[in-house]
Amino acid sequence: MSVAVPTRARSSAALVLAGVLWGTGGLAGSLLASRAGLHPLSVAAYRLLIGGVIATGYLWLTGGLRGFPRTPQVRRRLLAVGGLFALFQTSYFASVSLSSVSVATMTTIGSAPVLLAVATAVKTRRLPGAWTAVSVAGSLVGLALLQWTPGQEVDVAGVLFALLAAAGFAALTLVTATRVEGLDPLPTTAFGCLIGGAALTPAALWFGMAVPLQADVLALVVYFGVVPTALAYAAYFRGLESAHPVLAALSALLEPLTAALLSMAVLGDRLGAVGWCGAVVLIAALAVAYSKP
């Protein structure tokens, strides 16, 4: 009996889980920024640092660090992941500050699958398959409808930073798609987050990292570091082990969809007819991506 289908199913499930968990991070990050009065860059630093510390602590308690490889290949991979984490987070939040959350999200997450499809085509010297092209195009249309705001002004610098963030996420996907011997997804997430968080800390300290010692704020900090960061990226890297990079990047499109539904359920936001059309198109495009080889 072939194990190809179960392996693909597990990989797809891990990627779907990552996208949904990322979607909860938008609401958690927004609540943390408002209740603690933090700059977005400080929120990003906390996200990576807390996620890295908790993931590393879990590895230490469970013996996951015993026999951890210290080869040059492992060190290079962890430095690359940490640097790309920092680049992605910094560029994304720069785009948010210059434009808006919707423009930054739509441009970043929408551009990443396109960049990966182009990079894969250049690397393999083959054009993307028909189903891949349909999935990417449908996802872009669905995302645009989901995030569409009439009369919204677009800042060029904000879009450029969003494209830089997309390039960082695409590079992270390509880098981690190739496995390094002895380096599993959770240690990659743990040490990558620590390195990326450390890189962001000097700027975050400049903007201020003090948080009120209140139960709800501290719970948000822990949740933000654990669920949409440590668990989500570990699931993403696990799914990447047997999934095409373009499919993996498409799973990130579940983030704005989840965030929109959570905003409706928790904050009472409304999704108009155009937004619902976008959600349907987006789900259909992702279904094609996950069902077709």
Q: What is the pLDDT of residues 128-164, one digit of tens each?
A: 667 667 767 776 777 677 666 665 566 778 888 888 9
Q: Is the pLDDT of residue 1 over 50?
A: no
Q: Which helix (H) or strand (E) holds 208?
A: none
Q: Output the six-digit token pair for 22.
A: 């990322």
The C-alpha torsion from 172 through 173 and 174 to 180, rounded to 10°, is 80
Q: Which residue has the higher pLDDT, 120 or 171?
A: 171
Mean pLDDT value across residues 268-290: 68
Contacts of 251 (CB under 8 A, 6+ apart): 15, 16, 18, 19, 236, 239, 286
Q: Structural domain tally of the chain? A: 1
Among the listed residues 183, 215, 232, the one whose alpha carbon sits nearest the alpha carbon of residue 47: 232
Task: Please state, as a whole number, how many other Cβ atoms lie within 10 Å of the Cβ of residue 271.
Answer: 15
Burial class (CB in 10 A: 0-12, 13-18, 19+), 210: exposed
pLDDT at 25: 81
Contact 88, 168 (CB under 8 A): yes
Give whole-number Cα distances, 219 to 170, 205, 232, in Å: 31, 21, 18
Could you read off the pLDDT of 201-259 as tens digits, one per residue?
A: 999 999 999 999 899 999 999 999 999 999 999 998 888 877 777 777 777 777 777 77
Q: What is the pLDDT of residues 53-93, one digit of tens each?
A: 999 999 999 988 888 888 999 999 999 999 999 999 888 88
DSSP-assigned letters across all residues of 33-92? HHHHT--HHHHHHHHHHHHHHHHHHHHHHTTTTTT----HHHHHHHHHHHHHHHHHHHHH
Could you tell me the residue range of the domain that residue 159 belongs to?
4-291
The pTM of this model reads 0.81
Rounded Cα gap, residues 293 and 4, in angstroms:
11
Residues 240 and 236: their CA atoms lie apart, in Å, by 6
